[in-house]
Amino acid sequence: MENLRKHGKPPYSLAVIHGGPGAPGEMAPVARELASDWGVLEPLQTANTLEGQIKELRSVLEKYAFPPVTLVGYSWGAWLGVIISARYPSMVRRLILVSSGPFEEKYARDIMKTRLNRLGNDEKKEVISLIELFNDPTVRDLNEKITRFGQLIAQADSFDPVPQDNEVLETQYEIFRDVWKEAEELRSRGKLFELAGQIRCPVTAIHGDHDPHPAEGVKEPLSKLLKDFRFNLLKNCGHKPWIERQARDEFFRVLEEELKE
């Protein structure tokens, strides 16, 4: 799989960073929406280590982007955007965090509990069963299982979603497992918080009020750390704003307003 798709016309001054880790392609609808006004890069992260994903994204930006670039990072991609912005400040003009995970461990403790409480009994049992399967080191070839897990989690994460195609090119369990383990450790040791404090470009966060990732886990830490930070809370909106019937238009309005600054 090639690790980049391009949308719109050059110069490519904007890049959308997908979540997961290991869910390449899910930001395609956002890229297409923005491509009428901007040249948009859609990197498809393929490395199976945190450092590998950082180097991979940096390489794509150096080769194809018109610097400094605006990064729009979704979920895990928001954290990746934070790391790139902190390490390579001259590359990034503006950072926009969409549905970011919380930046401190204390805000993350109830995320899965919230998700399970939103599911029916059968779905809840299936999620618990899949988590047990993922924790079994003897089990191999879990791409199909992680795809199903993602479907159930998306159900819990959404408020009022419109029907949509799954645009993830290939859910990759090993990338998810390995990179997320490193990312969680980065947060638990306080290193993610430290990196966020090193950012010098303007930062905007866009977050749904129904997202199980608590909004205060993004707003509170970054408000303390950053001089140029804005937070936008979308009503009736889950983890993926562009699929939400009641929030989609407001999401793109806020996003495009930020991009034009």
CATH homologous superfamily for the domain 4-109+157-259: Alpha/Beta hydrolase fold, catalytic domain (3.40.50.1820)
Residue 230: count of CB within 10 angstroms of its CB: 17
Bridge partners (DSSP) listed for residue 40: 7, 14
pLDDT of residue 36: 95
Separation of alpha carbons 31 and 256, rounded Å: 12
Task: Report the pLDDT averaged over residues 37-49.
Answer: 95
Q: What pLDDT does residue 172 have?
A: 83
- Say what the pLDDT of residue 96 is: 98
Query: SS3 of 226, please?
Result: coil
Range 125-134 average pLDDT: 94
Determine the Cα–Cα distance for residues 103 and 216; give it in Å rounded to an integer. Answer: 10
> pLDDT digit string (tens) for 68-127?
999 999 999 999 999 999 999 999 999 999 999 999 999 999 999 999 999 999 999 999
- Cα separation, 35 vs 29, whole angstroms: 10
Q: Are 36 and 9 in contact (CB under 8 A)?
A: no
Tens of pLDDT, residue by residue over 157-171, are 999 999 887 777 777
d(CA 231, CA 129) in angstroms, rounded, equals: 36
Q: What is the mean pLDDT of residues 236-253?
A: 98
Q: Please tell me the predicted confidence (pLDDT) of residue 2.
A: 67
Cβ–Cβ contacts within 10 Å for residue 139, how many? 12
pTM of the model: 0.95
Q: Is the peptide bond before 11 cis (omega within 30 degrees of 0)?
A: yes
Q: How far is CA 100 from CA 1, 38, 73, 78, 96, in A?
A: 26, 23, 8, 5, 10
Q: What is the percent of the chain where pLDDT is above 90?
A: 85
